[in-house]
Each structure stands twice: as C-alpha cells, then as structure tokens.
Structure 1
Amino acid sequence: MPVVQLEPPRDAWDDRTVSQLLTLAQSRSAEDRQRLLLKVTSLCEATRPPAEVGPLLSDIFLTLAAQAERDIRLALSERIAGVDWAPPALINMLALDEIEIARPVITSSPLLKDADLIRLLIEATLEHQIAVARRPQLSRPVADTIIDRGEAVTMTALASNRSADISEDAMRKLVDHSRRIAGLRAPLTRHPRLNEQLAQQLYQWVGQALRQSIGERFRIDDAQLNAAVQQAAAKAVGSPEWRTAPTSRLVEDRERSDMERRLVDKLQAAGQLRPGLLVRALREQRFELFEQALAALGGFSDAQVHHAVRAPTAEPLYLACIAVGVDKAVFASLLVEVRKLSGGMPAGGGWTATPMNAHSASRAFRQMMEKPAIV
C-alpha cells in the first residue's frame, strides 16, 4: 500500500487541525491511518505539541504504530528518535521492535532511561543489546550491567564506545575478560580510560601490533612486568587452594603420562606442535602436557625441563620458552599459571628479559642446564 508523504502543515495545533486528526482517527481505512500517523508526526516536527493534546497523541501513536506496516514503523522510529515529546510507551514499544526499527530510538531517544536500557539487555535480542552498548553517553549502571552479563560481542561493542561512562573497576573487568576474548583487546588498547596499570596487564596477552600501540601510549617496563608477575604468583601460591595442594599433583599417574606423551608425539609427527599448546595445557591444568610439549618443542630432555620448572629462579624456564617461540610478554602470564600448578615453582627469583633470538636462548638454556641448581 503506498505511503502518502505529507508536507509539514502550515497551520499548527489549532481547532481545525485537531478536528481533522479526529476524523482520520475514526476512519477504518488503512490509508487514512497511515495519513494520520504521518500527519501527526509532521505536525510535531513543525511545532511542539501543546500539553492538552498529549493524551490524544499517545492514544493515536500507540494504536496506529501497533497496526502500521513495517516501513511506516521504520519511518516513525527515524522521525521521533531524537525528540523529547513522544509518548514513552511508544518509544519503548519501538525499542523492542525488529532491530532496524529499534536501532534509531535505542541510539538516540532521550526518553529511554537506564531501567529501559537494562530491560533491553535482559529481554531483547543480541542485536538490540549491541545497539544499547553503542549508545552515546551510556551511563555507568548500564555499562556495569553489560559487563556483569559477560556477553563477548556486547562487551566488545561497549569497549568501542569511547563516550560510555566506564568506571575504573569496570575497565579492569574488561581487561580481565580480554584474556579469553580476543576481540576486546584492540578497542581496549585505544580506550581513553585505559590507565598504565591496566595497560601493563593487557600488554601480556596482545599481539605485537597491539603491543606497539600500547607502547606508544604507556611505558611498559619489563622490570615492572616481572614484579607484577611475582606478586600475582605469590598471591596465588598463598591462597588456601594452592597452599594445601599436594606435591604429588606435579606427577600424574603413568597412564595419564603416557596419554599426554602420545598426544605430543602425534602432534609433532603431523607438524602441528605449536607453542600455543603450552598456554592451552596450563589453562586446562594439564601440567605434564605442558612439560612434555616444552621438551618436544625445544628438543630438550625431560630432565632439563623438570629442572627448569623447579629451579630457584625463573631464568631457565624463561630461556626454554623463548627458545621454542613464546613471546617474552606472554611468558609473564604463563609463569603465573606454572606456579599455580607446581606449588610455587620456579622459586622467587625473576628473569632477565634480554632480547635474544630462539637459537641464542636455546644455547643459553642448555649451558645453564649442564649444572642445574635444584631447590
């Protein structure tokens, strides 16, 4: 059915205009209903409606919008998205419509309050939630709700919204989430609320290009990074969960050891053994897999890796990891996981993040392991 486009009326909210609106409202014709909806919208755009016609407008909008065709609802959403005179019930109804219709009011309507936006996060589709996360000047309570819900794409949209009011604690949660959600990392590196402390944490698990971006904004000091890892490891080891962990967890039973070795052999034979397996093994708490994969990747003996993990300093393990292709920034978080699973080993000594290639690191590791110092 064709849509009748109306020019903004020359007369505004006089008695004759209101009478015409009432006549159109009484018509059962679908075309008259469309004319009425567009005429009311045009009137409101030309002159703010007087307070006395507010109830009439509310009834007209809600009744006709519910019955209107999709293109009419879309046109209505676009035309009233930024106004403050529309009936709030109509705005909320349009915000729950299909996303193309809902997006203009979700993005721009001043009539959507925090409670309305939080309701959309709970009740509406993922596309609606993303639109909420991208809303300019998003309030802190709504941003906190997005983070608490933990939906990856919605948090990524929020991280890209530089005008959102995101607290320091909320930023810390986003950086924590970025460890498992790669899509968060790029927008976080550019976020104006990223501070130096959080940049240090984010730096550990981003790629080289993003590290350069962080480095352009913050001074990432390897000594500070090392100290942060030591502190995190000490906290982990000191917790009841790890303090009571038996040393027997370092060595799985023979059946499991054989299973992990077969997996490493299979991956190596297929040319699929990669440094990324080390991180995955630690996150899955498969410590024997980590040790065997490290030995296979570097061509080290099991004894050398065993000694490196249990040394009084993290230096040997650092060299072994660099030798197999682990980035020095990734090693910081990797060491925390190793110490969690090993009861605090390697011991408290740090490492020197000296730039060196894999060959040099391998040679230094083998020299160090000729006379390993074991605690």
Structure 2
Amino acid sequence: MSVAAKTEEILGLARSRAVHDRERLLLAIVDLCDAGDGAEAVMSAPPVQALLSSIFMSLVVEAERDIRRRLAEKLATAAWAPAALINVLALDDIEIARPIIAASPVLQDQDLVRLLVEATIEHQIEVARRPHLGLPVVIAILKQNEPAVLTALAGNISAEVSGDEITTLVQASRRIASLRSPLTKHPALTDDLAREMYLWVGQALRQALTARFRLDSAAMDAALAESVREAHGGLPSDHERHEVTEREGEREEMEQRLLAKLDIAGQLRPGYLLRALREQKLSLFIGGLATLGRFDPDHVRRSVDSDRPELLALACAAVGIDRSVFPTILALVRELNGGRPGGGPEGERRASGAFGPFAPDIANAAFRQAAGRV
C-alpha cells in the first residue's frame, strides 16, 4: 500500500468513534512500525500528526494492556512517536514501560528525571540501566541514594559516570554491598578509589582489584589489619581481626546475593525476616527488611541500634508485618543486638502505635522521613 493510501486509512480510522475502529487504529500503527522509512513518512504527515495529538492519549488509556505492550515494543525506537504518548507509556506497568525507558529517543533527560521522582523502583532501575545515560540523570540518581537504583547505575558502563560520580558510588559501596562487584569492573574506577574499596570488600573482590590495578596485596592487607586493630583498641591480634573482617565481608556479600535472588524471584516475604532472626542472622534480617521496603540499609541499621523501637515498627509495618508478630521480632532483635533498640515500656507503646490504622505506604514514607534524622 502506498504512503498516501496508508495515510488515508489511518485518518479514516482516527475520525471514527467506533470502539473497534479505535483499536484497529492502534493496531495499524503497530503494524506500520514494521514498515521502516514508510512508517516515518506516514506518521510525519501533518494531518496524521494533528489527529494523533488530539486523540492518541485517550486511545492509549482506553486500550487493552496487550495492545499497549505491543505498541510500546514497536514505538521504543521510533523518533517520530508523539512525546506525550511516549511519556505515558514510560509510566505504564513496568513490562510495558521497559522497552520505552531503555531505548526511546523521544525521552529527554528531564523526562527521565521525572520518572525517578514519580515512578516505581522498577522504573527507576530501568532508567539507571538506560544506555548512554546523561550526567543530569546520573546526578539525580546519586541524590536519591536508592540502593537498588545505585546498583543498576554502577553496572551501566555507558552512563556518564566519572570523577565525582564514581567517587560517590565508591563511598556508597561501604554500606551497599551490591555496588561492590560492578564497581570493581567499572572503567571509571581509579587506582586511588580501588585502594579505598579494598578495605571493605570481600576476599574475591580484593583479588579482582589486585589483578586489575596491580595493587601490592601484602601492603594493602597490612594497612587493613592496622585499621581494624586501631578501631578495636588492639584486641584481639591483627591476624585474628583480619580473618574476622574477611569472613564478615564475604558473608555480607553472600547475603546480598541471596536477598537479590529471592527478591527477583518474588520469594522474599515478611515471614523470611522472622526466620532469619530465629536463625540468629541479624544482618540478614536487616538486609531483608531494607530490600523488601526499598530502604537505605544504613537507615535500618541505625534504627535497630537506636532507642526508638517505633522506627523498627514503622519499617515492619511498611513491608506487611502484622502488629501481633512485632513483639516477637523486637524481642529477637534485642536478644541479638545487645538490648537494642531500647526505649523501655514507653518505646514499646510507641512501637505499637506505629501499626496504624494506615496503609503500608504511609508507614514506608514515615519511616524514611524519621530514619533519615536518626
């Protein structure tokens, strides 16, 4: 069919108010996307563009999910696609939004920054993975400081990350173990930053850093042992403390990998947190709670170490833990954490009040706000 004939067909469908013609219009555009240069000629025609601007948004909103998904897949690389439509699809369910966020040339830096503010964590992760991510978007990701999004950014070697940005990621890797592996491979990592990372990564990543940057492993291990001895007042011996640090680093890495796999598989649930505590794995509980709630792990740790058990209660409420289960969780955490979080009977009363009545998203927002001030 000629460009002129295809244009007339689309115009005819667009003018129709019949529901089946509206769906036929979207499907015609989907099919047209496979037509190469011919598609651009048709869709760029002024009459078509004028009609699309006036009716496309309502069409897409009313369309079946499968049609929206097919449309997103076809329009992902189309430079002629209407910007408003692309932005709507980018905010759709993540399965629909993913190809748009990953590849659409229509999305600009300001659109991607808006997704970081308005969309879900899954959308934000896709933004961080987008090839050739610009500096304004990278800076926005770093400011938000969301562990899962930072980890996606660390693995995106085509993003505009260098200088201050890679330094910020390396510093964040002190508390976010999932950042460490991708950062050891990042092309912007420098010798000086590699030496910093050496002090808090596990043995396998130390070997990777040593091989890549030709570090003096004996000197680095001696410096690590010295820093550990100073931090703990010289007790116990350097060798013993060094071995403990290695084991703790490796265990943290293993726990992070386990939690990530469970989360991706949809198997990380509130009940797993209680199981971790009963197995006396406090760090696994903290990491699991942070992963489930998409919290900063450092905020969870500080809440657990505080004298405000209501903060831990807010975090638990945010991930769907029942009020009746929380006293058991609090008791187990205190048993494993030297009596913390403290607060006594008054703290326990405040903790009980943290369970509502309100929705989990309210508890989530309240925890983020309160934990940031601890």
> What TM-score do you get using the length of structure 1 for normalisation?
0.58
User: In the alignment, which of 148, 160, 177 is matched to residue 172 of structure 2?
Assistant: 177
Determine which of 123, 126, 129 is the counterpart of 1:134. 129
* Equivalent in the alignment of 1:370: none
Contact 1:171 1:194 survives alignment (8 Å): yes
Does residue 9 of structure 2 align to residue 20 of structure 1?
yes
Judged with a 3 Å threshold, the aligned counterparts in structure 2 of structure 1 residues 101 and 327 are, in CA distance, closer, same or farther, namely: closer
Write out aligned runs for 1:49-128 (5 A): 49=42, 50-53=44-47, 54-128=49-123
Tell whether the 8 Å contact from 1:189 to 1:210 is kept in structure 2 after alignment.
yes
- Mapped partners of 2:245, 2:81: distance in 1: 58
- Choose from 132, 140, 143 the match for 1:145: 140
Cα distance, 1:317 vs. partner? 5.9
Code of the aligned partner of 1:27:
S
In 2, distance between residues paired with 1:329 and 1:203? 14
Identity %: 49
User: Following TM superposition, by how much is the alpha carbon of 1:221 offset from its aligned partner in structure 2, in angstroms?
Assistant: 2.9
Question: Cα deviations across residues 29-66 of structure 1 (Å, max 9, x unaligned)?
Answer: 32221111121343354211334232223334323112
1:127, 1:99 → 2: CA distance? 7
What is the CA-CA distance between 1:199 and the residue it aligns to? 0.5
Are 2:56 and 1:42 equivalent residues in the alignment? no
Q: Which one of 192, 196, 201 corresponds to residue 206 of structure 1?
A: 201
**Which protein is bigger by CA-based radius of gyration?**
1
The residue type equivalent to 2:18 in the other structure is S
What amino acid maps onto 1:11 in structure 2? S
- SS in structure 2 of the partner of residue 93 of structure 1: helix
Structure 2 unmatched ranges of 5 or more: 250-374
* Distance in 1 of aligned mates of 2:245 and 2:25: 67
TM-score by length of 2: 0.58
1:61 and 1:90 in contact (8 A); partners too: yes
Alignment of 1:180-329 (within 5 A): 180-221=175-216, 225=220, 308=234, 318=238, 321-322=241-242, 325-327=244-246
Which amino acid is the alignment partner of residue 35 of structure 1? R
| Contact map agreement 2:89 2:100 (CA 8 A) in 1 | yes
Is the CA contact (8 Å cut-off) linking 1:204 and 1:329 kept in structure 2? Answer: no
Aligned residue for 2:22? 33
| Cα distance in 2, alignment partners of residues 55 and 36 from structure 1 | 15
Give the structure, 1 or 2, with the largest relative contact order (CA under 8 Å, sep 6 or more).
Answer: 1
Q: Deviations over 1:57-112 (max 9, x none)?
A: 33343231121010000000000110100000100010011111111110000110
Give the alignment's Cα RMSD to 1 decimal. 3.0
- Stretches of structure 1 that go unaligned for 5 or more consecutive residues are 1-9, 234-277, 283-289, 292-307, 310-315, 331-375
1:61/1:328 Cα in 2 relative to 1: closer, same or farther (>3 Å)?
closer
